[in-house]
Amino acid sequence: MKKALPLISLLLSSSLLAAEPEHNIGIGLSGSWEKSPYVGENRPFSILPLIDYDSNSLFISGTSGGIHLWQNNNQQIDLAFEYQSFELKPSNNDDPRMKQLDRRKTTLLGGLAYSIITPYGQLSAEALIDTLHNSQSVSIDVEYAGYLQLTQQLALIPQVGATWYNHKHNSYYYGVSKKESLHSGFASYQPASSLTPYLTLTSIYKFNPTWSAVFEYEYNLLSHEVKNSPIVDRNNTSTISVGLLFYF
């Protein structure tokens, strides 16, 4: 999955917007409905706090944040950190075989991100590693985001991209060790690296200068390295998120 939470790429204060926002600090909540790729997984809904803040040096957007290392009128390089909420809790799973697996934990990713604003939208790329050494993940993401101002209050942001994950990421989240295979009955499995394309549509509605609502739908097409895992029963995942923010 591309992000820990789809709403982390809130663009309410992005330079994609034609005008500077009246307020640059936003706080709120988001609720997400997610279809997990795991067999027997039943975690359809979650709630997380949202913070949206951007200054000349620091930024926080949803569950990501970091430091602006360099920027000019249309480009920037960031030291970025991102909370990856993807996990597997076997005790919460409905399938008795999955209960015999080891837990896959959430983690904090960190690395470098680059973006450039063009007349046709925003191009961005980031390279992140697992800073907590839970999964030893390495990911490289490339994305294009457009911007459509439909009315004075409503904007749409379509995004398309792909994320490459190293084999350690895939082995941690989708692999089955020989020990786990013996206890659970699943065949042992060690996937290689993978490429996950995705599509996202974000809509932003500004009720007034202080209150805004965000809706986002994200679709990920899982690679064969992931969907061939015996603990995965889907070839795609999708997430619907709704957020409400107050700016001051």
pLDDT tens track, the chain, 248 positions = 444 333 334 443 443 444 444 557 899 999 999 889 999 987 678 888 888 898 889 999 888 999 999 999 999 999 999 998 889 999 999 999 999 999 999 999 999 999 999 999 999 999 999 999 999 999 999 999 999 999 999 999 999 999 999 999 999 999 999 999 999 999 999 999 999 999 999 999 999 989 999 999 999 999 999 999 999 999 999 999 999 999 98
- Residue 2's alpha-carbon distances to 7, 131, 157, 161, in angstroms, are 11, 17, 16, 9
Residue found by looking up tokens 């749409």 in the block: 156
pLDDT of residue 6: 37
What is the pLDDT, as a whole number, of residue 18? 40
Q: What is the pLDDT of residue 236?
A: 95
pTM over 0.75: yes
Position 63 scores a pLDDT of 83
Q: In 3D, which of 163, 176, 166 has the Cα closest to residue 228?
A: 176
Assigned fold of 6-247 = Porin (2.40.160)
pLDDT reported for residue 20 = 44
Distance of alpha carbon 54 from alpha carbon 129, whole angstroms: 23
State the Cα angle at 10 between 210 and 155, rounded to 5°: 70
Domains of the chain by residue range? 6-247
The Cα–Cα gap between 31 and 143 comes to 24
How far does the chain reach from its first CA to its final CA, in angstroms? 32
Rounded Cα–Cα distance for residues 55 and 122 (Å)? 19
Query: How far are the Cα atoms of 98, 104, 108, 151, 216 from residue 134, in angstroms, in the given order?
Result: 20, 8, 9, 44, 28
Q: What pLDDT, on the 0 to 100 scale, is given for residue 3?
A: 47
- pLDDT for the residue 13: 40
Element (H, E) at 148: strand 148-149
Amino acid at site 27: I
- pLDDT at res. 19: 40
